[in-house]
Structure 1
Amino acid sequence: MDKRTYVVTGAGSGIGAATADHLASTGARVIRSDVHDADLTAQEGREQLLSQVTAASGGRIDGLVAVAGIGAPSALTVRLNFFGTIATLEGLRPLLAASDRPRAVAVSSLSAIVAADEDLVRACLTMDEEAAAAAVTSLVESGRGHIVYPSTKLALNRWLRRAALRPEWAGAGIPLNAVAPGVVDTAAARRTFLDDPVTRERVAAAMPQPLGFPGPVAPIASLLAWTVSADNAFMTGQILYADGGAEATLLAATGG
């Protein structure tokens, strides 16, 4: 049985809850966090998460699964999806470094390859949170709010691929990766667009999934769990598309 200690953010529902349950089923100890425990859109909540995890873990964790995220056309989306995720990864990295087999993974999205705003991505990668929030406001006011979510995930991808190679990550023996799901059947997805036939059809056309639309949650949870398991000893800096074949379909359509 796996006696590792894991932290899962966004564990109250959807992919986060499924991943936490999957890890717990292996016999691991799982520290679950959701917005009710720590609001990662704000500095106070980010500090609260670090304090709570440090106390609950005793100062050492073996794996971190950063799932927490939202898709609203709002500045809160960039504050959570990018800045909250980075604060979680960097803040808990010292606790990972105390493990003999540390691993970390973040949740990205297939949508990052479909559309994005480079100004918003640039503001994220310069770590200017207020400029990023202002860029989101401009996008929403110009009727382009739908591009906020994928932009935050593209920024996360770019940050992660660079960070994973740094001395404090790869140099410290901590694999850092991301899993990019396609559209999966979660309560949030149903509430946001799956229950609306028109929006559902539009999203399915933009992100075609040959293995089924929407996809199941369980395989995403299983993949996330593997990336933070002791078995993943030699993969880092990767964006793993678990999307029912959507990325391959979109690349084929453009000759990629």
Structure 2
Amino acid sequence: MGTYVVTGSASGMGWATAARLRANGHTVIGVDIQPADVVADLSTPAGRRAAVDAVLSACGGRLDGAVLAAGLGPTPGREQPTLITEVNYFGVVELLQAWQPALAAADRAKVVVFSSNSTTTIPAIPGRVIRALLDGDGEKAVRTLRLFGPAASSMAYGASKLAVSRWVRSRAVTRNWAGAGIRLNALAPGAILTPLLEKQLSTPAEAKAIHSFPVPIGGFGDAGKLADWVVFMLSDAADFLCGSVVFVDGGSDAYFRAGDWPKSVPFWRLPAYLRRFRGFKQ
């Protein structure tokens, strides 16, 4: 049995994942702003540092896996763009960077980061915001987001999930992650019936927008079934899964991007890719 950390463990998909892991006999260190094994506010640097230290103390410097499920949705409000980027992006990246040695100390550790199908279904997410987040400049990202006025929160949500997905993809294949035996992947859910979605559905305007969004198979996803996906991605069966973003969204991503993906590697970029691979293998 292993030791796993799950952020966002007090509700929704994080709670369902923690419950599945505990039912399977694993030790789970839950992290949440609500009552959990580690209570921490991931929207602040101090809160993230407290979460890092408490988890490292609780696990004794060894983690068999991590599930980064804590996140904020695109609810309106002037301060929401800041909170969304802090929790959804920095609340993933800073924690994983600090926990990397503990993950490397385990045998074939697995990490699952919660992304979202908003990464490919929200139009016109500004690349400037993505680049700012990947550069670690949250203030610059938020300044750009506020130019979108009432749509700032939606853009912040999509941008935070897109940036964290790209972070996962770029880091997963490096010496510090794949080379250290850590499998780093992301799960991109669609509309899952969680307390957050139930709250949105209680508002007529939001409910109308949600019900009009294309979901080819119809309905909403189940948090417990998403937890089953996470447990699979943490298992030995996922040893060969690396740098993937797995969409579990009822077909919405395919609806919007049927002809956009997969794409072959551009011929002119092959030399750079090969140089990177040779450097990784050395």
1:182: which partner in 2? Answer: 190
Aligned residue pair count? 250
Query: Pick from 61, 64, 75: which aligns with 1:62?
Result: 64
Alignment of 1:118-157 (within 5 A): 118-139=127-148, 141=149, 143-157=151-165
Q: CA deviation at 1:57?
A: 0.8
User: TM-score with structure 1 length normalisation?
Assistant: 0.92
1:103-154 deviation digits (Å, cap 9, x = unpaired) = 1110000111012222211211111122123233333x36443221111111
Distance in 2 between the 1:143 and 1:180 partners? 22
1:79: which partner in 2? Answer: 86
Structure 2 residue 257 is matched with structure 1 residue 251: yes
Q: CA deviation at 1:178?
A: 0.3
User: TM-score with structure 2 length normalisation?
Assistant: 0.84
Moved >6 Å (runs of 4+): none
Contact kept? 1:63, 1:229, Cα under 8 Å? no
Residue ranges of structure 1 left out of the alignment (5+ in a row): none
Aligned-residue Cα RMSD (Å) equals 1.7
| Amino acid of the structure 1 residue aligned with 2:72 | I
1:162-214 deviation digits (Å, cap 9, x = unpaired) = 011111001111110000000010111111x22234422323433x2233322
Distance in 2 between the 1:137 and 1:35 partners? 26
1:23-50 deviation digits (Å, cap 9, x = unpaired) = 1111111111101411111111111111
3-state DSSP of counterpart to 1:40: coil
1:236: which partner in 2? Answer: 242
Q: CA deviation at 1:255?
A: 7.0
3-state DSSP of counterpart to 1:231: helix
Contact kept? 2:145, 2:155, Cα under 8 Å? no
| Amino acid of the structure 2 residue aligned with 1:214 | F
| Amino acid of the structure 2 residue aligned with 1:63 | G
Contact kept? 1:11, 1:17, Cα under 8 Å? yes
Distance in 2 between the 1:25 and 1:185 partners? 22
Structure 2 residue 106 is matched with structure 1 residue 99: yes
Contact kept? 1:184, 1:214, Cα under 8 Å? yes
Residue ranges of structure 2 left out of the alignment (5+ in a row): 262-282
Percent identity, aligned pairs only, is 36
Q: CA deviation at 1:90?
A: 1.0
Distance in 2 between the 1:151 and 1:185 partners? 22
1:165: which partner in 2? Answer: 173
Alignment of 1:176-215 (within 5 A): 176-191=184-199, 193-206=200-213, 208-215=214-221
Contact kept? 1:79, 1:133, Cα under 8 Å? no
2:265: which partner in 1? Answer: none
Q: CA deviation at 1:251?
A: 2.1
Contact kept? 2:108, 2:183, Cα under 8 Å? no
Distance in 2 between the 1:174 and 1:203 partners? 36
Contact kept? 1:61, 1:98, Cα under 8 Å? yes
Distance 1:186 1:170, change over 3 A: same
Q: CA deviation at 1:85?
A: 0.7
Q: CA deviation at 1:84?
A: 1.2
1:45: which partner in 2? Answer: 47
